[in-house]
Homo-oligomer: A and B are copies of this chain.
């Protein structure tokens, strides 16, 4: 089911409807996802007792409705008599099992619900911030974890019931599934609220198939759809619920990003199983789906019905505009081109061609007069002090940012409000990494929906849109061919082949190693690999670094230039950036938490640099 975060009453109504429907279909057991009643990524909503009471009351409704059928659903488990370690009421991330109007807890559990044992605290997860740990509970009660983790005895069998991370136990010293296996279960249910991440389902298929096969029992995986966010980072949930047989084959599954039902009869006879290794990996079509789904749901969340895209003629804004065209009818999409004296006819025409191809609205508002006015009002103007005056100077370099801010904060924001909508942020992950973007300028917008894609991935998504989605080149070929450029000065004239200082795809690969590697690399590793001659391989860069940088001095200068930006002004800009739609691991925001500390280099780096 699609879970609406923070909407327990709505989610409960849906659960009760669905279980009634299932009962009339003579279903014996129906399973809903982890945190199906409250939602999961709610920030500090868990600190509000009124919200918790409402979730508890909603759970009671489901319990009462659970007659003639066994129902499993995720909710917050409350113990009003005990405290969490922050002094607030005790909360568990819990899985409830109800039948005949009552809750059934695991054998030997002090609570009438299953408690999540393994609490993730990496990436976007803050489980230990809100929920008490089953291991701590065991210790408090003077028990071993083995005593607490037990099957749930129901009329349909002894269920090995766990929540999400409980089955991702590879890096933990304890294994809830292992304990349940020892105690004996008829089948396993994993209720999850697991955000979509590129290629995560591939790993999940391997991990869960192995678990089912180890236990020799069927495993039911139930995950929700919808979106949930941590404020700065918006996550999609792809559902993709499925069933594994006792040999680890996947016998049934839902397509991603679709609400639906997987049903089966145990024992699983006559079902064709697909091995984990035969299941397709994610590709550009999955990324497209995730971005379209996440954008569309986020618009609904924010009541956005009309969208303005600042269209420069480049690939980023073209891809964003084409994505919105798949969500919105053309009359609700407006492209605005805002030329200055530095914009070429080439890019203006590309932007206009894009609008024509998409059939959406088009508006051209030049920024020349306003930029001239700003320069006249500030450049050369004298600020007064008691002791004298100081003349302000707006250099050409500073005027670049004046132009970018004029476009977004003056024009796009006003056009969006006059159009009754919002404007988009078209930044990609490469720009966002090094802050190659202007605050209150092109970094503005209500959502940055391609900001988790490297520049190379934006190009690939553009190709995919033309070839697979629109089946014609709605994004003009020129947008792929033109040199990427901010066109904010004569030094960035695209018709002379001049543009951004970023070298694609090399810098994509370099930045990915800094941001997305699980053990994140730094200039120390980069320089080490460079000296070893393994840099291309380590970065997954298909070219040769020596073709880009004739000497090690050039190489180091480039490395430090971008590292300083990534760790310096880049962090400051990201703090004020719009929400980022996460589709891969380590999206900026709550999945990649940052402190403003400035760039630094280790002593080992400095030694290698000298050598």
Contact = CB atoms under 8 A, between A and B. Distances in A.
A393 interface: yes
A54 B603 CA distance: 8
A413 B42 CA distance: 34
B47 A385 contact: no
A207 to B, nearest CB: 13
A402 B412 CA distance: 11
Nearest to A376: B369
A50 interface: yes
Given A231-B575, A374-B410, A576-B577, 14 more contacts: A6-B598, A6-B600, A43-B595, A47-B519, A85-B118, A85-B171, A119-B128, A136-B173, A139-B145, A234-B596, A302-B596, A392-B418, A394-B414, A401-B414
B594 A43 contact: yes
Contact of A595 (B170, B231, B377, B411): B231
B365 A377 contact: yes
B381 A394 contact: no
A300 B448 CA distance: 31
Nearest to A418: B392
A87 interface: yes
A356 B384 CA distance: 10
Interface string A367-392: 00110011001110101111100101
A383 B415 CA distance: 10
A53 B602 contact: yes
A377 B363 CA distance: 11
Given A54-B602, A518-B87, A525-B50, A594 B44 contact: yes
Contacts of A575: 231-232, 578-579
A393 B378 contact: no
A232 B519 CA distance: 24
Nearest to A9: B603
Nearest to A335: B383
A592 interface: yes
A53 B522 CA distance: 12
Interface string A34-71: 00000101111101111101100100000000000000
Interface string A570-611: 011011111100000000001011111110101111000000
A475 to B, nearest CB: 18
A595 B418 contact: no
A491 B234 CA distance: 38
Interface string A228-241: 11111010000000
A258 interface: no
A361 B385 contact: yes
A398 to B, nearest CB: 5
Counting every copy of the chain, the complex holds 2
Given A51-B522, A384-B362, A405 B415 contact: no
A159 to B, nearest CB: 25
A140 B85 CA distance: 21
Nearest to A6: B597
Contacts of A232: 575
A409 interface: yes
A7 B600 contact: yes
A592 B44 contact: yes
B595 A385 contact: no
A446 interface: yes
A408 interface: yes
B88 A415 contact: no
Interface size bucket, A side? 35 or more
A129 B590 CA distance: 12
A394 B370 contact: no
A520 B46 CA distance: 9
Contacts of A471: none
A164 to B, nearest CB: 14
B524 A383 contact: no
A88 B518 contact: yes
A392 B419 contact: yes
12 contacts: A6-B595, A7-B597, A47-B519, A53-B602, A86-B171, A140-B173, A301-B598, A360-B385, A363-B392, A365-B378, A405-B414, A579-B596
Contacts of A576: 444, 576-578
B413 A393 contact: no
Contacts of A414: 374, 378, 394, 398, 401-402, 405
A293 B362 CA distance: 51
Contacts of A384: 361-363
B140 A129 contact: no
A154 interface: no
Contacts of A373: 369-370, 373
Contacts of A394: 414, 417-418
A341 interface: no
A231 to B, nearest CB: 5
Given A51-B522, A373-B370, A410 B413 contact: no
Contacts of A361: 383-385, 390
A579 B57 CA distance: 38
A385 to B, nearest CB: 5
Given A171-B85, A365-B378, A597 B5 contact: yes
B519 A49 contact: yes
A326 to B, nearest CB: 18
A554 interface: no
A524 B42 contact: no
Contacts of A520: 44, 47-48
A359 interface: yes
A105 B122 CA distance: 29
Contact of A409 (B135, B387, B410): B410
A163 to B, nearest CB: 15
